[in-house]
Chain A
Amino acid sequence: MEIFDNLFLGLSVAISPINLVYLMLGSLIGMIIGIIPGFGPAAGLSILLPLTFGMDPTGAIIMLAAIYYGAMYGGTITSILLNTPGESAVVASTFDGFPLAQQGRAGPALVMQAVASFVGGTVGVILISVLAATFATVTRNFGPPEFFMLVMMGIVTLVVLIGENWRYGAISALIGFAIGTVGVDLETGIQRFTFGSAELISGVGFIPIAIGLFGLGELFYAFYQGLHRAGSGGIIQYQSEDRFWPTIRDWLDSRLAFVRGSILGFCIGVVPGAGATVASLMAYSIEKSSSRTPEKFGKGAMEGLVAPECANNAASSGAMVPLLTLGIPGSASTAVLLAALLMWGLKPGPLLMEQNPEFAWGLVASMYLGNMALLAISIFAIPLFVLFIKLPYRILAPAVILVCTMGTFSVHGSIVEVWLMVGAGVIGFFMKLYGFSPAATVLALVLGPLAEETLRQTLIISRGSPWIFIERGMSLGILIITLGVIVFGIWMGRSRKKLRARMT
């Protein structure tokens, strides 16, 4: 079997002592980078990139890749503990992760997210090893029409998230779409709502808005509730911490979420663009709509945390496919990795894996080891994080403000973005007070501009004809799946109502 030959070659490269050191170092740094909201893998990678100038390329890529997927492990921790997603791919993890923490189940939630990250990451690497070439053809067929259809699918799933309070949910999403229109109009270059500010030309970023709405908003709400006077306990009055390990029930509830989340995540992750965000959203909504107890979602359902976690980690592996097989970066982080490949004098492209097998397979093999290392690090570190939320509030609150501010500032070193974050914090407080959905806002902020860009690109290419969406095979396929999801959702909703009607 060629695959085993390749993997064996890769493993022999990856387990050389120096490469193992790089791997462990990368995993640790990645995890820490992931934990700080705002300071995501793309920023972390580009700061550490110059250090790899003189390193052996294989060792360097093993380290940088470990930082990249390691950040996905760490990223969820603030989602669960502080209800603050550090990047768009972990927004879906706040839906059930934070309620679990509030119920005193922070330990099991963190363990499950580490395991889910491990499963998602490992399934992703297995699929890279076996099917990278096959998935490269998916990437090859993905133009603006397909991209638009995929984004529409993501927007449809927003509806599932909005839940019962749909009027407020829709308003929240529209606010996000509105914020997303700020910046340069991609097709004409005309500036929209920038008020002459150079900082707003590239638009309002996800980070200041998400950190403001979630992190600061949650904090202001806690002040409003008078938690700062309560003395101890976290941002929210956490109930007593009973156990660390997940229960058998947790495992049983999430067994299918592991499988569905990982495979879905990888498949969407191979698409260049907002793969991980759309993947985690869809994984969540599929899990919710196929669940027999959808009412538990958003109130601490373990499978509602596992599915998006598997998906975003599998997607971050999936994003390596276009990088390794075509030399195309699928995300901001893989773009930095691509810059690294160029810097070391490699030529990324379809021939990379043939011409540099020990490099490519060394990287793939190291990802198996890296995921194991990260699982071990996570389990080891979780008790520390659980301690963190038990800190007295008077210590925790300033620390959270500091982390939010520094995280936001570190992205572009922009004070304007810090003020945006503070403004978003005030809005986030009122959203929480009146039951709006900050998640819908930030996801609309990510998906809205993508939808606009890809739709306009498509229509320029087709010279205004919408038929292009059904003329192209893959675009038609995604359209049919989306329609199927909508019909299935309505049908499930109806049959559930009937069931309930019969029971009462």
Chain B
Amino acid sequence: MRLHKTISVAARALALAGAVLIPTLSSGAATADNYPSERLNWTIAFGPGGGNDIMSRTIISILEKYKLYPGEIVAQNRSGGSGAVGWGYLFNQKGNPYHISSTSGSFITTPLKAKTPWTPTSFVPVALLAADDLVLVVNKTSKIKDFDQFIKEAKATPLAIGGMGAVNVDFIVPTLLAEKAGFKFDYVSFNKQGELTTALLSSALDAMVANPGDVAGLLESGDLRALGFSGTKTPDSLKGVPTFGEKGFELGISMPRGVVLPPDAPKEAQEWWIATMKKVVEKPEWAEYVKKHELTETVLWGDEFGKFLGTSQDEFARILKASGAIK
């Protein structure tokens, strides 16, 4: 803190000396009274068009539309290694309050898979804004009609349940459910959503977990049947579908869609962003985004979000170690 003060005193002295024309000099010298005053670099750890990209750009467009950020915002896609590249870049911007990034599921799983120098808790947490939760679905021809029957069938004979990837929330959710409800199952991992969905449609799989948005059309047409939802509150499109919690199996896990600052970012910057993101989530554009992408609005601020990241990470690590996916 002392260093910051010294620098800011020096910066003010420079300003007095007439160096205001070169604002870049004061980089990293943010204080409560002049933050933010520079260009913001928004790192998107995935390519254009993906879930993370769309969320980041939605937030940026809201910030710009309502003039919530006084300066220019530059969004940059730094994709590669399932987020390892982009978040690694943010990690290297230690203490710099003019860098920011948005998180998604890989924020927890990538450090478990690869030896990244960072973990989810290395960063300064700003806010958890929404969560990707999963819906458990079966084919319409399945004899399983509802959640209770699913548990009953699953206990009688192990079912084949499909999902995306092995080191992913798609594996964690059914595993936790099985743990709590006391059944065994065969997890079948897929690489592409298209192949997963057709595997269920062709009745090769007994059930699958999916993001509600990926199966909304097939649920509406009646080709698939939704049995339960892993989040805390069912989205509108899944009206009438119980949550796992309502059935007595609260999982307490989801994919965090949030915002983080680099490690050691100043407290003022964290507070400024918490206040600003509180304004963002109140705008109609944000509500529309959450609805369109079938996300569950789950909001946690600052250190609460940090705590959430920590527990999610531990839970993921525990299950994946048990399955042998990670060491």
Contacts and interface: CB of A to CB of B under 8 A. Distances in A.
B204 A461 contact: yes
B160 A147 contact: no
Contact of B188 (A202, A340, A461): A461
B195 to A, nearest CB: 6
A412 interface: yes
Chain B binding surface SS class: mixed
A322 B323 contact: no
B216 A189 contact: no
B193 A335 contact: yes
B202 A273 contact: no
B166 A351 contact: no
A192 interface: no
A376 interface: no
Contacts of A199: 80-81, 85
Interface of A: 43, 45-47, 49-50, 139-147, 184-191, 194, 196-199, 201-202, 272-273, 322, 326-331, 334-336, 339-340, 342-343, 345, 347-352, 412-414, 453, 457-458, 460-461, 463, 472
A196 B114 contact: yes
A349 B220 contact: yes
A350 B49 contact: no
A198 B198 contact: no
B48 interface: yes
20 contacts: A46-B48, A139-B201, A141-B201, A142-B202, A186-B189, A186-B191, A188-B325, A189-B325, A198-B84, A198-B114, A326-B223, A327-B217, A328-B194, A339-B54, A343-B292, A347-B216, A347-B220, A413-B85, A461-B160, A472-B204
B18 interface: no
A201 B109 CA distance: 12
B84 to A, nearest CB: 4
A480 to B, nearest CB: 18
A465 to B, nearest CB: 12
Contacts of A352: 217
B155 interface: no
A339 B160 CA distance: 28
B198 A413 contact: no
Given A47-B48, A49-B48, A336-B49, A457 B199 contact: yes
A463 to B, nearest CB: 7
A322 B216 contact: no
Contact of A189 (B48, B113, B213, B217): B113
Contacts of B198: 139-140, 142-143, 272, 322, 326, 328
B70 to A, nearest CB: 24
Contacts of A198: 80-82, 84-85, 88, 110, 114, 116
A190 B324 contact: yes
Contacts of B293: 342
A141 B203 CA distance: 8
B60 to A, nearest CB: 11
A142 to B, nearest CB: 5
Contacts of A329: 192-194
Interface string B201-217: 11111000000010011
Contacts of A414: 80, 85
A241 B217 CA distance: 54
B119 interface: no
Nearest to A453: B191
A50 B189 contact: no
Contact of B213 (A45, A144, A342, A350): A342
A458 to B, nearest CB: 8
Nearest to B218: A349
Contacts of B190: 186, 453, 457
A459 to B, nearest CB: 10
Contact of A184 (B166, B195, B199, B219): B166
Given A189-B320, A413-B80, A457-B190, 8 more contacts: A46-B50, A143-B202, A189-B165, A199-B85, A201-B81, A349-B217, A349-B220, A351-B221
Contacts of B324: 188, 190
A414 to B, nearest CB: 5
Contacts of B204: 143-145, 457-458, 461, 472
